[in-house]
Amino acid sequence: MILIADGGSTKADWIALDSDKNEVFRVRTLGLNPAVVEQEELNNRIVNMFQLINIKDEVSEIHFYGAGCGTPKPSKILQDVMESIFINAKVHVAEDMLAAVYAASGKEPALVCILGTGSNSCYFDGEIVHMKNPSLGYVLMDEASGNYFGKLLLREYFYNKMPKHMADRFENEFNLDPDYIKKNIYRMPNPNMYLASFAKFMFEFKEEKYIKKIIKRGFQEFFKYRVLPFEKDASTPLYFIGSIAHYFREILEKVASKNNLKITGVIQRPIDNLLEYHKNNII
C-alpha cells in the first residue's frame, strides 16, 4: 500500500493506492504542519483517522507534502511521527510547494504560487525549485493568505473600519471576545488556522466594494513580494494553488493583469493532479 498526501495547515488530503496503483480510499485529516503543531498532536491527528490506522502495517511508502516542511527540523519531526506509526513504510516528507509544482506544471518550467491558509511562491525550471525567500510563516509573511486576511478583518473590526452591516454579521458569526481571541492566537495550537477561519467571512460579501478593496490590497502585496522579484517573461506560465486563489480568481486575474502578467491556471485542491504525477513519474 502506498499513501500520497498533500497537507496545508488546515487540512491534509490522503490517497491510498494498492500495488497496481489503483485507488483504495481517500481521507482528510486536520492539518499536519510540524512548524506550528506539537509532535504529540501530529501523532494524534493521524492515529485518530481509523482508515489510516487500519492499514498502517500494510503501508510500504508514504509521499507526504506539507506546509511547514520546508526546513529540516520540522520535516524530521513529522517524518519521525509517521515512521513510528507506519513501521513498515519508507517515508518521504517534502514541502507543499513541491506538491504545488507537480500538480500545476508537472515537469514544465513555471512560476507556481500557493494562496491557502498560508502563502508561498517559487520558480520551477523543470528540474529544481527556486525560492527567492524563505517563508517565515503567518506572523511575518504569508501575504494574501487566509490567515493574512483573517488578521486584517479582525483589525478592521476592532478599529471600527468595517461597514456596520458587515460588522453586525461578523459579530453574529464569530466569538469576538478579546480574551477568547488572544487565547486562540497566543496560547492554543494552530493560531494560523484559527486566524484563517475568519477569512471565510469574505466569501459571503465578495461582491461588496469594501471586501474587493481588501482582497486587491492583499493580492497586490503578494505580487510585490512573491511574484515580481522572479526573473520571468510574458511566456512564463503562472499557476496558483489554494482556496483563496480559487474563490477570488476574478480579482486575482485583474491584479495579475495590472502587473502585466496572465494567470495560466488556478487549482483549488492539488491532490488529484499530484496523484497523476506520481502515477506517471514516481511510483
| Amino acid, res. 127 | E
In-domain check, residue 71: yes
pLDDT at position 85, please? 98
Is 49 part of any domain?
Answer: yes
**DSSP 3-state of 32:** coil
274: number of CA atoms within 13 Å, CB side?
25
Between CA 247 and CA 164 the distance in angstroms is: 24
- The number of domains in the chain is 1
How confident is residue 158, by pLDDT bands cut at 50, 70 and 90?
very high
* Residue span of the structural domain in which 77 resides: 2-99+271-281
Residue 161 lies in a domain: no
Q: What's the mean per-residue pLDDT of the chain?
A: 94
How far apart, in whole angstroms, are the C-alpha atoms of residue 113 and residue 104?
10
The answer, yes or no, to whether residue 248 has pLDDT greater than 80, is yes
Strand bridging mode 2-7 / 61-66: parallel
Facing residues of 65 across strands? 6, 94
Q: Which residue has the higher pLDDT, 112 or 234?
A: 112
Is there a domain that residue 90 lies in? yes
Q: Residue 224 falls within a domain, yes or no? A: no
pLDDT(134) > 90:
no
**Residue 162 within a domain:** no
Q: What amino acid is encoded at 267 in this protein?
A: I
Give CA separation, 146 vs 128, 156, 198, in Å: 28, 15, 8
Does residue 242 fall inside a structural domain?
no
Residues 175-215 have pLDDT tens digits of: 999 999 999 999 998 899 999 999 999 998 999 999 999 99
What does the pLDDT average to over 254-274?
94
CB 105 within 8 A of CB 237: yes
The predicted model gives 12-34 an average pLDDT of: 94
What pLDDT digit, counting tens, does each position of 29-50 carry? Answer: 999 999 889 999 999 999 999 9
pLDDT of residue 138: 87
| 275: CATH | 3.30.420.40
Nearest to 79 by CA among 47, 10, 136, 32: 32
Consecutive H or E run containing 6: strand 2-7
DSSP 80-119: HHHHHHSTT-EEEEEEHHHHHHHHHTTTS-EEEEEESSSE
**pLDDT tens string 45-64:** 999 999 999 999 999 999 99
Q: According to the model, what pLDDT value does residue 283 have?
A: 72
Is the pLDDT at 233 greater than 80, yes or no? no
